Chain A
């Protein structure tokens, strides 16, 4: 049996013929296994969905309670038979509920890791190395230029700026699922105990994180109409960065735009986006994490998906590991 008999790409997504299921399909299918709740991985409309409890909850929050025909929660580490294959979910360290999916048959194991990171994150379970024959890796930040520094050091920059410019509202752009909550938790870890103001788009997800034991402290809506501008001086406001250009952002006094993202490593990206305070905080692996993880899994073959596939494929070649890009459509560069 070749690995491609066990899993291969189809227009709908990554498909397992013997188990008759897709992983993170981009179109509605009969049976979908979902790695995590980001919208390009977790889409509504499938007949049956298998995912971690937290990913299912997040999908319900984002897509409504009827996002799938039936759902089945998969506890981490537990094995399940689907047709002839054994499937298990393992923590990916990306966002709350995120998992890698291991697919195994006749002693051959492929791990579809979804999105993952190795850096410490107080808001989700840490990544676990699953030894395998084929490792499917994301490549969002797969260039040697990407090094994510210690996230707490970046949050330190934000706090320093609030002390330097107390008359300005600090507007922190962050992806609504995962990044926003991580930024808030890191602020609390550094002793920031004032209320944090959040955009309406973050409310339900943040409440959900809090219900899952991630303490984010005092969160308040930043969406009160006709609020007094001065109320937000000296405040930290967290919002999806797309909202910065909206009328919404005008209510704040002389806002200082910060953006928490791995892309902020590149100065031109920050400049182009009008970001005054780039915070290099990412929920994806940087170059060193990607290459170290590939080595640790012991995989003899690597399939590379969404991002800068060519560089990671090149690294594998240089290190004697068979590798090829897996051309899956429908995934975007995530905002983190």
Chain B
């Protein structure tokens, strides 16, 4: 457990990608099975451990130490998991005579019942040393937050065995922790694991954003353009009677979309965008789509109200033939012909957008024909389907984010290194009749500003506090006095939880408008117009 804890601690503080890769591969080399495979599972989020709520952690620690001393400690450290790991009373008499292994920890946590979970956790914390306690708490509270993506972990595996990362990606979804057969292959001790199941996920091809000056170097005649739909990227794979709908990261989301799965009457792997609505009549908004997301099962009523379909743009495999090596134009012809044979309520084709020049395409990108289009995709006509994010063949050219001017209403103290600053902001826009305008909160943001701007806002908050409730302050905000925040966001959803009726996606502060009188901030109608 100490080796795993040390790995986590080093990964958090190592900024460079190569440094992280080295730390992970060294760990895989130095640590035996099954601990290294469990470490891999923890990093890639494949470890299934029942979670413990922060309140339970507090309860456990309050049974063991003076609450005032705990309070001083938590105030100082700012992170609950870390505080508990540090103040947990040392219990050398309960330490086993060997360093407890990650496998023991995982086994004990996984076999704990709901009711004895806290006691099992407490016993493990008694047995572990300080850093290991932190790692254990991170495992049970979910989210290691070590700045390592599953993709990076797979790259480390590729480095370990000197193989291409695409080989790992392709095998990945047939494997389970602790990945013993995978390590044996990478270390040259066994042959490559067979693809255990059919209908496996194929690593997807991703695009790069169009950067400044990129287009000048590219010939429009080398590229095809498609609309970029604001849905969920999926891969629909049906092979030998097994049907799977995968997310972009290879998670199996079939359970949430039985309507789509039922229509997968083919032997193929399709790449496309999952949307709701009726392909022939109306494509639903992202907030409609949200009704269908993050569900393990879905009611008939829900399927009826928000029917799902896939707008396809690529074909990776058809009747046993792998098409990924073929150029885009050939695959495009195949997918067009193939879609024509499928259920039109569940599968349609993402149309190509004809254009002659980048300027012309730019004009269409600015005025897309449908609100759920978030830009255009550019695909090089001669490019094969390549796993990962190769630079050059695919570009995304997104619509610019939405911008509104809002007024700062509440500020809340941050955590950790921001705990001495008011760094979380709730902002609102105007509603109500002329002469009787009121601010209505429309969102919350805690990034998008520089450290210097943070200091300025913090000072504004302290100088203009109207009321305090715990860590929150309400600030002066009326027609004549207040701070205007320009907020950028990616889209809007309908919301019943917010008084304003809207919820922003990915809001962030884009500019501080010290120059702008609050009365000139936007009105709620501006946002409501974006919903339809």
User: Which of A's residues lie within 8 Å of B, judged by CB?
Assistant: 143-147, 149, 157, 164-165, 265-268, 270-272, 275-278, 288, 308, 310-311, 314-315, 318
Contact = CB atoms under 8 A, between A and B. Distances in A.
A145 B87 contact: yes
12 contacts: A143-B69, A144-B69, A145-B76, A145-B86, A157-B6, A164-B22, A266-B77, A268-B82, A275-B13, A276-B15, A314-B68, A314-B72
Interface in B277-319: none
B87 A144 contact: yes
A208 to B, nearest CB: 34
A268 B72 contact: no
Interface residues of B, number: 30
B187 to A, nearest CB: 19
Given A144-B86, A149-B130, A268 B416 contact: yes
Contacts of B90: 147, 288
Q: Which 8 A-B pairs have the closest CB atoms?
A: A145-B86, A144-B87, A311-B72, A145-B73, A268-B416, A276-B13, A272-B417, A143-B73
A146 to B, nearest CB: 8
A288 B89 CA distance: 10
Given A144-B86, A145-B73, A268-B417, A314 B12 contact: no
Contacts of B10: 276-277
A166 to B, nearest CB: 11
A146 B12 CA distance: 20
Nearest to A146: B86
Contacts, number: 70
Contacts of B130: 147, 149
Contact of A267 (B9, B26, B73): B9
Contacts of B83: 145
A111 to B, nearest CB: 25
Contacts of A315: 69
Nearest to B72: A311
A147 B417 CA distance: 21
Given A144-B73, A311-B69, A277 B13 contact: yes
B80 to A, nearest CB: 12
A224 to B, nearest CB: 27
B22 A165 contact: yes
B49 to A, nearest CB: 22
Interface in B400-439: 416-417
B66 interface: yes
Interface of B: 6, 9-10, 12-15, 19, 22-23, 26, 65-66, 68-70, 72-73, 76-79, 82-83, 86-87, 90, 130, 416-417
A310 B66 CA distance: 13
A276 to B, nearest CB: 5
B184 to A, nearest CB: 24
B12 A271 contact: yes
B280 to A, nearest CB: 53
Contact of B72 (A143, A157, A164, A318): A143
Nearest to B129: A149
A144 B73 CA distance: 7
Nearest to B14: A276
Given A145-B76, A271-B417, A314 B66 contact: yes
Given A147-B90, A267-B82, 9 more contacts: A145-B76, A145-B87, A266-B82, A268-B82, A275-B13, A276-B14, A308-B76, A314-B69, A318-B66
Contacts of A165: 19, 22
B76 A143 contact: yes
Nearest to B26: A164
Given A144-B87, A147-B86, A147-B130, A267 B69 contact: no
A270 B66 CA distance: 27
A276 B6 CA distance: 12
A266 B77 CA distance: 7
Contact of B13 (A146, A149, A271, A314): A271
A50 to B, nearest CB: 36
Contacts of A267: 9, 12-13, 79, 82
Nearest to A157: B6
B101 to A, nearest CB: 19
Contact of A265 (B26, B79, B86): B86
Contacts of A308: 72, 76
Contacts of B19: 165, 276
B73 A278 contact: no
Contacts of A265: 86
A211 B10 CA distance: 37
